Amino acid sequence: MNDKSLALALVALVAFGGLAAVAQPVAANTTTPPTNDGYVVEQAGDCHQIEALSSSGTVEAFYDYRNHETHSEGVDRMYSSYGTEHLQEDNTSVLFLHQGTDGLSLVMIHDQVDGDTTGGVATFEISGVPAETEWVVQDDLYEGETNMVEWYDEDGWIGADWIWSEARTDGGAIQGGLNDEFAMTIHPAFNEDAALYDDEDIYDPDFHENGTIDDWEALSGDVDDPDSIDLSLEEPVTIRTGTCDDPSVSYDQPSDGDGDELTATIEGADASDEVALQPLTGTDAAATFDGIAVTDLEGNASVTFANDADGLPAAPSDIETLSSLAVSSDSLEGSSATVTFSVDANTLEEQHLSPDEIALYEADGDEWEQVPTEVTDQTGAEYRYSAEITSFEGLMIAEQQDELTDDGSASSGDTDDGGASSMPGFAAGGALSALAVVGALLVARGRLQR
């Protein structure tokens, strides 16, 4: 090797090492998405397998909501859904999953446009929705005092209060997070039980003209000629992934409307099952809890999530804490779970933390125990993590205290690289590795010269 070649090698290797330390790519996500065997609708102990209604467009195009703002004169635009006329019935509310080019959505439609109906009122509160779920179709949504519909999108639940007049529909569609495993519980209130029934504070309390919803149906199968399943107007309904042989998961109704507490009820679990639960997102939106998959559970259980850190242990004063979630259950002893969570990339930068310096902690009595945590994915805005827990008392996302070994124990912390991660691309010693190779080349050159 001549001096020129050696110089080129030195430049290339040092540059490569520097890039390795600066670029910090994230390891590819090696997790396998859950396999959905289908969908079911459950109410009061009855379970029915259902199929999503499929179309070749988006749910917004399928619903085809029209009002004076969305469509010009000369087009039917009676503040209603025109794309689902073939699914509508007088004095009937329908509920179904829609599969389109924008993924899976949950659709709800009350009454029939141009039908023989005087109007109606209804309230839906849907608990256990994924954090990314949002209203993508809102019937009604327009500017004006005659628009009295109320829309809600809170941590752990989403909902609406509808009121409509004769020969019109109301309803909407929600979307987001439904392409993976989910369970959502719809708490209905029709007619006199609805929030806007005879509400004197709205523009026109008599807008519904005493119209009623007499039937509630879940639709399944062929989008042009679906099967219908009769539902009770009085009982909650859960729609979830899986089959009727899988454990049932349902969520309670928001008690105070602020979404600060959510209870999941599990029924019929077997130790071999993995039960996916949707927690609340936590105390800070910069770091959010995405899911908890429970294993080794036999029979029934309930788990309550709360965005309240008052009952949790005090966080260590020497680490940066990002978010916490209170968890309580007297029926998960002996079970374990996989917790997935996300951290905002800008927050990490502001706190001068690298992605691999974040860990999950589980509450154990009056102390926090750090558990092995893995970065699983990166988007442009956030990093995603996975960790295993065995305690169901509380969770905290925070800066790691010590680098953990593969068996979960803390290392001595006597490293010179400040706690380098085992993830490719996050090694602070990347440049040092390059220099080591350069040293080897120098030695080899010396030997060749001798």
Read out DSSP for 96-132? EEEEETTEEEEEEEES-TTSS--EEEEEEEEES--TT
Cα–Cα separations (whole angstroms), residue 358 to 25, 114, 342, 372, 394: 16, 57, 10, 10, 17
Predicted local confidence at residue 237, as pLDDT? 98
Fold observed for domain 260-399: Chondroitinase Ac; Chain A, domain 3 (2.60.220)
74-101 mean pLDDT: 92
Predicted local confidence at residue 311, as pLDDT? 85
Predicted local confidence at residue 403, as pLDDT? 55
Please work out, in degrees rounded to the nearest 5, the angle formed at the alpha carbon of residue 193 by the alpha carbons of 187 and 262.
Answer: 30
Residues 221-247 have pLDDT tens digits of 999 999 999 999 999 999 999 999 999
Maximum mean pLDDT: which of 34-43, 94-103, 306-315:
94-103
Q: Which of the 8 DSSP states describes residue 357?
A: G
Residues 166-175 have pLDDT tens digits of 999 999 999 9
Identify which of 340, 405, 323, 392 has the alpha carbon closest to the alpha carbon of residue 362. Answer: 392
Instruction: Determine how β-strand 119-127 pairs with β-strand 183-190.
Output: antiparallel
pLDDT at 107 over 50: yes
Helix 3-23 to helix 430-449 angle, to the nearest 10 degrees? 170
**Average pLDDT of every residue of the chain:** 84
Taking the C-alpha atoms of residue 184 and residue 175, their distance in angstroms, rounded to an integer, is 12
Identify which of 213, 197, 216 has the alpha carbon closest to the alpha carbon of residue 205. Answer: 197
pLDDT at 307 over 50: yes
User: Positive or negative CA dihedral for 286, 291, 297, 302?
Assistant: positive
413-440 mean pLDDT: 36
Question: Residue type at 56?
Answer: S
Instruction: Determine how β-strand 53-54 pairs with β-strand 92-100.
Output: parallel
Q: Mapping DSSP to helix (H, G, I), strand (E, B) and coil, where does residue 261 land?
A: strand
Identify which of 221, 181, 137, 247 has the alpha carbon closest to the alpha carbon of residue 32. Answer: 181
Residue written as tokens 């996916």?
276
Residues 332-347 have pLDDT tens digits of 888 999 999 999 999 9
Is the CB of residue 92 less than 8 Å from the CB of residue 216? yes
Taking the C-alpha atoms of residue 23 and residue 434, their distance in angstroms, rounded to an integer, is 15
User: Positive or negative CA dihedral for 362, 364, 368, 372?
Assistant: negative
Task: Name the helix (H) or strand (E) containing 352.
Answer: none
pLDDT at 433 over 60: no
Taking the C-alpha atoms of residue 426 and residue 356, their distance in angstroms, rounded to an integer, is 7
34-52 mean pLDDT: 88
Percent of the chain's residues with pLDDT above 70: 80
Cα–Cα separations (whole angstroms), residue 438 to 7, 27, 268, 389: 10, 27, 62, 44
Predicted local confidence at residue 10, as pLDDT? 37
pLDDT at 364 over 70: yes
Q: Where are the domains of the chain?
A: 3-22+427-449, 39-241, 260-399
Global pTM value? 0.81
Is the CB of residue 293 less than 8 Å from the CB of residue 337? yes
pLDDT at 32 over 70: no
User: Positive or negative CA dihedral for 346, 260, 192, 43?
Assistant: positive
Is the CB of residue 424 less than 8 Å from the CB of residue 405? no
Predicted local confidence at residue 146, as pLDDT? 84
Tokens of 398: 């925070």
411-434 mean pLDDT: 36
CA distance between the termini of the chain? 13
Taking the C-alpha atoms of residue 438 and residue 444, their distance in angstroms, rounded to an integer, is 10
pLDDT at 435 over 70: no
Q: Which of the 8 DSSP states describes residue 239?
A: E
Tokens of 94: 């329908």
Predicted local confidence at residue 70, as pLDDT? 76
Predicted local confidence at residue 256, as pLDDT? 57
Tokens of 319: 């680490």
More confident call, 33 vs 270: 270
Backbone angles phi, psi at 20, to 5 degrees: -65, -35
Is the CB of residue 41 less than 8 Å from the CB of residue 48? yes
Q: How confident is the model at residue 14 (pLDDT cuts 50, 70, 90)?
A: very low
Taking the C-alpha atoms of residue 386 and residue 29, their distance in angstroms, rounded to an integer, is 11
More confident call, 79 vs 181: 181
Residues 249-287 have pLDDT tens digits of 999 998 655 558 999 999 999 999 999 999 999 999 999
